[in-house]
């Protein structure tokens, strides 16, 4: 029995019921028999808090705290488990040494930042085959976010993605009503939506005592993610170039990018990266849930490869910490919010370009039930915005043979039926769409 581990396990068990600021999440994470439950997502996105919520729920159901083993492997007292010769079985040897009677009953293991443990994959596989248990794993490094996870655990896992707060969860965290039932609740939700636009969904952002702390908080968080999850993990030879590339991408939120334009921009600042390396970094940045790219909708892989991709951030407020304010920022922020809400439930998201060359922001779902969505902060104005958005969407609907399309705005709502074709465009306020799309 390892005395340090014994102390850590016992300390956590004593603190399980301590008041811990928890916001219940909408993601329903269900364990699968004989498979480890892995929760992945951006660092500081709420994964550890979810574990604490699950632990408290188990205790509320009557489970003895001695049947729960929680370990945070980022604890510096556990550095000995990072050594190449370390044997992770010391974890279960210590726990079952404390509670030998638990070999015959189900034990719940919660492992946070497990990637720090040497040979953790073999350890988890052995634990699941030799003991009666449920295993929950969270982690932030690319090792736990990428395809390496399947290699490490040989398919003995079921993975769930946890994103920053949705608008509904933001309302819950702000202790606001989560449904529109009358004018008062609508006005309260609209006010909270404006707050969500400013603050975003990263849980810690809501705890900052001053709004002026947001920019350094987000910039430091992105730097931390890059250093711990990419630069150190992959021994990146160009850390400064990678950091600058991410800054540029954050400032390009909801816009089209190409590898060549990124290369030219970096080269102009004397940050030399090859197109192949930029593409590789883009993939790795997606692996750690920092930024995502969306291709054009096409069955032809060559068409997808040569066309620009749209870039979105895991959190719109995070991206704004790197951006220069412009009059069009509000629309870009709203588009990023819509993307993240879509990404909560699906991985395949595309943009669409009509035969006339007009862009439709999102084309999602199978051919038999494809949805086309445009995003625009407001359709009002003197520059023909409403007609332009309507015409592009109708063209796309005709080309893809769909009867309904959507324009998501900040506050406006109406149904527009095209007399010539009978097709309907639903103009939906974002605060309502964000709530209803989570149902």
The residue length of the chain stands at: 439
In angstroms, the CA 417 to CA 242 distance is: 48
Other residues' Cβ atoms within 10 Å of the Cβ of residue 360? 24
Mean pLDDT of 65-70: 96
The answer, yes or no, to whether residue 383 has pLDDT greater than 80, is: no
The answer, yes or no, to whether residue 151 has pLDDT greater than 70, is: no
Tell me, what's the pLDDT at 61? 95
Residues forming beta bridges with residue 36, ordered by sequence position: 157
pTM here? 0.93
Instruction: Please name the helix (run of DSSP H) or strand (run of DSSP E) that holds residue 413, with its range, or none.
Output: none
Tell me, what's the pLDDT at 147? 56
Question: 384-409 in b/e burial notation, b at 16+ Cβ within 10 A?
Answer: eebeebbebbbbbbeebebeebbbbb
The answer, yes or no, to whether residue 1 has pLDDT greater than 90, is: no
Q: Residue 145: which pLDDT band, with cuts at 50, 70 and 90?
A: low
The answer, yes or no, to whether residue 152 has pLDDT greater than 90, is: no
Q: What is the pLDDT of residues 359-380, one digit of tens each?
A: 999 999 998 899 999 999 999 8
Q: Residue 158: which pLDDT band, with cuts at 50, 70 and 90?
A: confident
Q: Residue 186: which pLDDT band, with cuts at 50, 70 and 90?
A: very high
Tell me, what's the pLDDT at 370? 95
Q: Residue 78: which pLDDT band, with cuts at 50, 70 and 90?
A: very high
The answer, yes or no, to whether residue 438 has pLDDT greater than 70, is: no
Three-class DSSP category at 173? helix
Q: How far is CA 421 from the centre of its chain?
A: 39
The answer, yes or no, to whether residue 127 has pLDDT greater than 70, is: yes
| Mean pLDDT for the chain overall | 91
In angstroms, the CA 211 to CA 200 distance is: 12
In this predicted structure, which of 22-26, 296-300, 327-331, 427-431 has the lowest mean pLDDT? 327-331
Domains by residue range for the chain, with CATH: 3-161 (3.40.50.300), 165-207 (no CATH), 211-324 (1.10.10), 337-439 (3.40.1350)
Token representation of residue 142: 């690319």
Question: 110-124 in b/e burial notation, b at 16+ Cβ within 10 A?
Answer: bbbbbbbbbebbebb
In this predicted structure, which of 330-339, 363-372, 430-439 has the lowest mean pLDDT? 430-439
Tell me, what's the pLDDT at 63? 95
Q: What is the pLDDT of residues 340-349, one digit of tens each?
A: 999 999 989 9
Mean pLDDT of 226-249: 91
């Amino acid at each position: 029995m390892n005395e340090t581990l014994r102390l850590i396990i016992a300390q956590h068990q004593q603190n399980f019921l301590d008041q811990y600021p928890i916001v219940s999440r909408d993601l329903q994470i269900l364990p699968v028999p004989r498979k480890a439950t892995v929760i992945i997502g951006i660092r500081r996105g709420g994964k550890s808090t979810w574990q604490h919520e699950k632990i408290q729920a188990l205790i509320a159901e009557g489970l003895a705290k001695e049947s729960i083993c929680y370990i945070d492997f980022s604890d510096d007292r556990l550095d000995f488990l990072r050594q190449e010769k370390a044997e992770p079985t010391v974890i279960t040897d210590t726990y079952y040494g404390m509670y030998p009677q638990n070999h015959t009953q189900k034990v719940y293991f919660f492992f946070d930042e497990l990637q720090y443990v040497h040979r953790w994959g073999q350890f988890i596989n052995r634990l699941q085959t030799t003991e009666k248990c449920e295993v929950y794993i969270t982690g932030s490094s690319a090792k736990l976010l990428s395809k390496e996870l399947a290699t490490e655990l040989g398919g003995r896992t079921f993975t769930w993605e946890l994103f920053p707060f949705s608008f509904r969860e933001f309302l819950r965290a702000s202790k606001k009503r989560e449904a529109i039932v009358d004018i008062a609740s609508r006005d309260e939700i609209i006010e909270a939506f404006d707050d969500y636009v400013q603050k975003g969904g990263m849980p810690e952002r809501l705890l900052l005592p001053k709004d002026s702390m947001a920019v350094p908080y987000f910039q430091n968080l992105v730097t931390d993610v890059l250093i711990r999850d990419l630069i150190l993990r992959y021994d990146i030879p160009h850390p400064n170039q990678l950091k600058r590339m991410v800054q540029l991408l954050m400032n390009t939120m909801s816009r089209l990018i190409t590898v060549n334009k990124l290369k030219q921009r970096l080269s102009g600042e004397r940050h030399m990266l090859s197109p192949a390396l930029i593409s590789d970094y883009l993939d790795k940045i997606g692996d750690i849930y920092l930024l995502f790219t969306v291709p054009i909708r096409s069955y032809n892989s060559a068409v997808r490869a040569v066309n620009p991709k749209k870039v979105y951030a895991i959190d719109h407020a995070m991206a704004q910490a790197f951006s220069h304010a412009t009059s069009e920022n509000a629309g870009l922020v709203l588009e990023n919010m819509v993307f993240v809400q879509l990404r909560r439930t699906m991985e395949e998201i595309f943009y669409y370009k009509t035969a006339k060359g007009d862009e439709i922001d999102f084309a999602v779902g199978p051919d038999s039930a494809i949805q086309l969505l445009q995003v625009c902060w407001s359709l009002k104005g003197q520059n023909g915005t409403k007609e332009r958005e309507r015409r592009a969407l109708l063209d796309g609907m005709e080309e893809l043979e769909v009867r309904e399309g959507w324009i998501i705005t900040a506050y406006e709502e109406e149904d527009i039926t095209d007399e010539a074709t009978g097709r309907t465009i639903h103009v939906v306020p974002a605060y309502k769409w964000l709530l209803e799309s989570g149902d």
